[in-house]
């Protein structure tokens, strides 16, 4: 009788569905012509429900936010500057390709497979972050990057499901990079 509970717990853990995730793998800030630019690699792992919605014409919008934070010993950290970018991904059934775009560019990229489109959307290169004149020499700074699915941008009938379903919780934990100035 006592062995049944551990057995049921193991079965429950094995049957749990794979939870979708967005994870930030790498951040690198480099100084180029008196300004820091950011390179970020984000991995998007969409749940089956989200993939189905995407393939049925639902456009997904993600927001990537980078903040430069000055670390202080005796007070709260100070946000010196922050920048955001909005990315979108959609499926075009007539052309049979995925379209990726972001708010700062009129250009859109087209990809044959979803994995190619997600990889392209996750590879952010040369993103202007902050001018070095805004930083205090020999202070410790960190760059915090986070990524979230913009549930408010989904069609209204889908929003309640997206707010309460684990499949739609596509928020990446913030990742930190030490900025040396």
Opening angle at CA 171, ends 141 and 88, nearest 5: 100
User: Looking at the predicted structure, is the pLDDT value of residue 5 above 50?
Assistant: no
State in words which class domain 19-179 has. mainly beta
Worst-scoring range by mean pLDDT, 5-14, 67-76, 91-100? Answer: 5-14
pTM, full prediction: 0.82
Q: From edge to edge, which strands make up the β-sheet containing 175-179?
A: 108-111, 97-102, 78-92, 60-70, 141-149, 175-179
Residues 131-163 have pLDDT tens digits of 988 988 888 899 999 999 999 999 999 999 998
pLDDT on residue 76: 87
User: Looking at the predicted structure, is the pLDDT value of residue 181 above 80?
Assistant: no
User: Looking at the predicted structure, is the pLDDT value of residue 21 above 50?
Assistant: yes
- The domain locations on the chain are 19-179
Residues 73-131 have pLDDT tens digits of 778 888 899 999 999 999 999 999 999 998 877 789 999 999 999 999 999 999 999 99
């Amino acid at each position: 009788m006592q062995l049944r509970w551990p057995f049921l717990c193991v079965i429950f853990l094995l049957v749990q569905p794979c939870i979708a995730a967005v994870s930030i793998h790498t951040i690198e800030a480099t100084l180029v012509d008196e300004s820091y630019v950011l390179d970020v690699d984000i991995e998007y792992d969409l749940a089956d429900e989200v993939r189905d919605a995407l393939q049925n014409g639902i456009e997904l919008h993600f927001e990537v936010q980078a903040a430069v934070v000055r670390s202080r010993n005796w007070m709260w950290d100070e946000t010196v500057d922050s920048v955001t970018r909005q990315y979108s991904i959609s499926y075009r059934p007539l052309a049979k390709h995925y379209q990726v775009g972001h708010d700062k560019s009129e250009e859109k990229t087209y990809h044959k497979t979803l994995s190619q489109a997600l990889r392209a959307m996750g590879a952010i290169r040369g993103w202007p972050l902050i001018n070095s004149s805004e930083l205090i020499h020999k202070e410790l700074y960190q760059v915090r990057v986070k990524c979230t699915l913009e549930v408010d941008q989904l069609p209204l009938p889908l929003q309640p499901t997206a707010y309460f379903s684990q499949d739609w919780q596509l928020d990446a934990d913030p990742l930190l990079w030490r900025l040396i100035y």
